[in-house]
Amino acid sequence: MTGTQALVAALQRLRAAGIDDPAGDARRLLAHAMGLAADRLTLHLGGRLDPGALARFDAALTRRIARQPVSQIVGTRLFWGRPFRVTPAVLDPRPETECLIAAALREPYAKVLDLGTGSGCILLTLLLEASAGATGPATGLGVDLSPDALLVADQNRAAHHLGTRATLAQGNWFAPVAGAFDLIVSNPPYIAADEMAALSPEVRDWEPHLALTPRGDGLGAYRAIAAGAPSHLTPDGRLIVEIGPTQGAAVTRIFTDAGFAHVTLDKDLDGRDRVLVARRQAQIHHAP
């Protein structure tokens, strides 16, 4: 069987299973099975597949038909133009989360705290993108409750050669955190308990529920972050969190009530509220 024949057969299988993007998924899975970069696949479609590649492709298709995300099957996902390792222990990095990166890059930063770091894609991207300041390259801490997620983040830290610039700690929100940061970021769990059933099978059945929902109304993580962040932000430091597209008003209220200033919302490419940016206002000292 040639690569083209395998691709046509796979497309039919994926389409019959109701997969949203059967053509794109088939190409990515075939490239992975053949050990090729996806953009090199077309050059090799005319040749015959060796038995090993054909077996790997069939196994990958079976997993995809079971609605396992492609990123978990191939083991990586591009985020801000870089590959990050992905497993069922972490959220699949999404294009919407790149809005958080764009917001963070609007101002310089030297020390970053990433709460619920997961794969580490946010923290590591921010460190890789940061311009070196007067005190040297930016550094950061990623915190996660899941030891399995931290293993993935550690693998991504090593793959991107960040060494001691990025440190990782296991714990709940601010529990393992000491010191102050001029930038705190988070893509926390924000799906309400009664919304979980409506998620796609790829998300609901394959991604970690700990990273998807805090249960209840979906706002519990924001309350915890708003309560703890002032003690760990430098004066005039920024806090940036991803939010659900219907949560803008509620999350704005949480951070405003916690004393944050200049609370604004950024929209994603679909025009939906996606990122909240807030600032810890510097203390104003009046002369006696």
* Structure tokens, 234: 């430098």
Specify the pairing of strand 181-186 against strand 233-242: parallel
- More confident: 140 or 44: 140
Determine the Cα–Cα distance for residues 15 and 99; give it in Å rounded to an integer. 31
State yes or no: pLDDT of 1 exceeds 90.
Answer: no
Residue 81 Cα distances to 50, 64, 78, 93, angstroms: 31, 24, 6, 12
Over the stretch 56-69, which tens digit does the pLDDT of each residue have?
999 999 999 999 99
Question: Average pLDDT for residues 243-272, to the nearest whole number?
Answer: 94
Determine the Cα–Cα distance for residues 246 and 244; give it in Å rounded to an integer. 6
Question: Average pLDDT for residues 65-88, to the nearest whole number?
Answer: 96
Tell whether 59 and 83 lie within a shared domain.
Answer: no
Is residue 71 assigned to a domain?
no
Q: Which residue has the tokens 């430098």?
A: 234
State yes or no: pLDDT of 74 exceeds 50.
Answer: yes
Contact by Cβ (8 Å): 222, 84: no
Determine which of 119-128, 132-141, 148-157 has the lowest per-residue pLDDT on average.
132-141
**Could you tell me the residue range of the domain that residue 49 belongs to?**
3-66
State yes or no: pLDDT of 81 exceeds 50.
Answer: yes
Backbone angles phi, psi at 111, to 5 degrees: -145, 120
Total domains in the fold of the chain: 2
Determine which of 5-14, 20-29, 255-264, 276-285 has the lowest per-residue pLDDT on average.
276-285
Picking from 66, 90, 113, the residue at the C-terminal end of a domain is 66
Q: At what angle do helices 22-34 and 3-16 cross, to 10 degrees?
A: 140
Is residue 22 assigned to a domain?
yes
Is residue 165 assigned to a domain?
yes
Is residue 175 assigned to a domain?
yes
Is residue 287 assigned to a domain?
no
pTM here? 0.90
pLDDT confidence of residue 16: 97
State yes or no: pLDDT of 131 exceeds 70.
Answer: no
State yes or no: pLDDT of 151 exceeds 90.
Answer: yes
pLDDT confidence of residue 135: 58
Is residue 31 assigned to a domain?
yes
pLDDT confidence of residue 39: 86
User: What value does the mean pLDDT of the chain take?
Assistant: 93
Determine the Cα–Cα distance for residues 177 and 258; give it in Å rounded to an integer. 19
